[in-house]
Amino acid sequence: MPESPEVIDKRVRREVYDFTLRRGIPPDSTNVAEALSLRRELVRDSFSRLAAAHVLVLQPESGEILMANPFSAVPTPFRVEVAGFVAYGNCIWDSLGIPAMLKADAIIDSSCGDCGTAMQIAVSDGEVSGDGLLHFAIPARDWWNDIVFT
């Protein structure tokens, strides 16, 4: 008996985050299909359902993962060194979410959104330190209106 879409989605979601937590970057559909012994088409259909549920954000051209929040599948201005690997956050909020999710210390390299000056933020024992100000230009309630821009 074939698995239901709900069961496939749970398996795919788990594998996406397990892979990401091992490597610091979300997998592509081929990685997930191989790990779960599923056809790639089933994984891509699952990606679409998970994106509709705001679990993932997909690249419009390819349908592959762009964001498995708080992780980015592509380099961003928010480089996070944490738990023995390097990851990229989608924004400063997500960059802080990575060490929070892992309950680990981290160094976040970024730059000032206003002047471009390099900046470093440390997370140690759950405390954030560094020079500068963290600014959230859009209220959280509006982030999904254009999550890639946000």
φ, ψ at 54 (rounded to 5°): 65, 30
What pLDDT digit, counting tens, does each position of 15-70 carry? 999 999 999 999 999 999 999 999 999 999 999 999 999 999 999 999 999 999 99
Which domain range does residue 113 map to?
72-145
Domain check: are 77 and 44 in the same one? Answer: no
Tokens coding 50? 């998970």
Of 85, 50, 83, 86, residue with least CA distance to 69: 50
Domain check: are 102 and 46 in the same one? Answer: no
- C-beta of residue 12 within 8 angstroms of C-beta of residue 32: yes
What pLDDT digit, counting tens, does each position of 59-68 carry? 999 999 999 9
86-101 residues labelled b (16+ CB within 10 A) or e (exposed): ebbbbbbbbbbbbbeb
Asked if residue 149 has pLDDT above 70, the reply is no
Q: Final residue of a domain: which of 66, 84, 107?
A: 66
What pLDDT digit, counting tens, does each position of 83-117 carry? 889 999 998 889 999 999 999 999 999 988 778 88
Q: Is residue 141 in some structural domain? A: yes
- How many domains does one find in the chain? 2
Q: What is the pLDDT of residue 113?
A: 76
Of 8, 6, 7, residue with least CA distance to 39: 8
Residue 144's alpha-carbon distances to 6, 63, 85, 90, 99, in angstroms, are: 23, 18, 28, 13, 22
Domain check: are 9 and 54 in the same one? Answer: yes
Residue 134's alpha-carbon distances to 1, 71, 79, 89, 121, in angstroms, are: 51, 19, 15, 14, 10
CATH of residue 26: 1.10.10.10
